[in-house]
Amino acid sequence: MKSRFFILMLFALIFSVSAYSQTRAGIMTGSGDTLVNTATKDLLFKVTTSNEVASFQVVNTKLSGTVAGSSFFQASNDGVNFINLDTLVNTNVTTNTKFFVDSPTKYLWYRIRWTGSGTMSAIPRGFVILRR
């Protein structure tokens, strides 16, 4: 009788742990590359399953110069033609950051396009958390 109870409790524990393993986190492709002056940098992420809540964060860190430009949160179904969903206007501070949320995910591809302006050097990074 004790062994059945132990097996049942073990099964319940395994089931409860697997219920919390539905969150995935990642770094967007292209994160951490240096953006200089008026260059453009794309941070890409492909969603593999639908009906997820996607939370994106862009973090732009100033290295030198006067940081300006914008970060555009974009989406696409084919990975080529993107539409703008939201924008972060970068100012001349040490760190510019913003969260973008799409719930549920409606597109296959997401991109943060970072465009610089003037004489500057910065590092754009993108982070993603997906939840069911």
- pLDDT for 14 equals 58
Report the alpha-carbon distance of residue 123 to residue 109 in Å, rounded: 22
pLDDT confidence tier of residue 59, bands split at 50, 70 and 90? very high
pLDDT at 129 > cutoff 60: yes
- pLDDT: which is higher, 14 or 19: 14
- Find how far residue 127's CA is from the centre of its chain: 4
pLDDT at 18 > cutoff 50: no
Going along the chain from its start, the domains and CATH numbers come out as 23-131 (2.60.120.380)
pLDDT confidence tier of residue 95, bands split at 50, 70 and 90? very high
pTM for the whole structure? 0.74
CA atoms within 13 A on the CB side of 109: 17
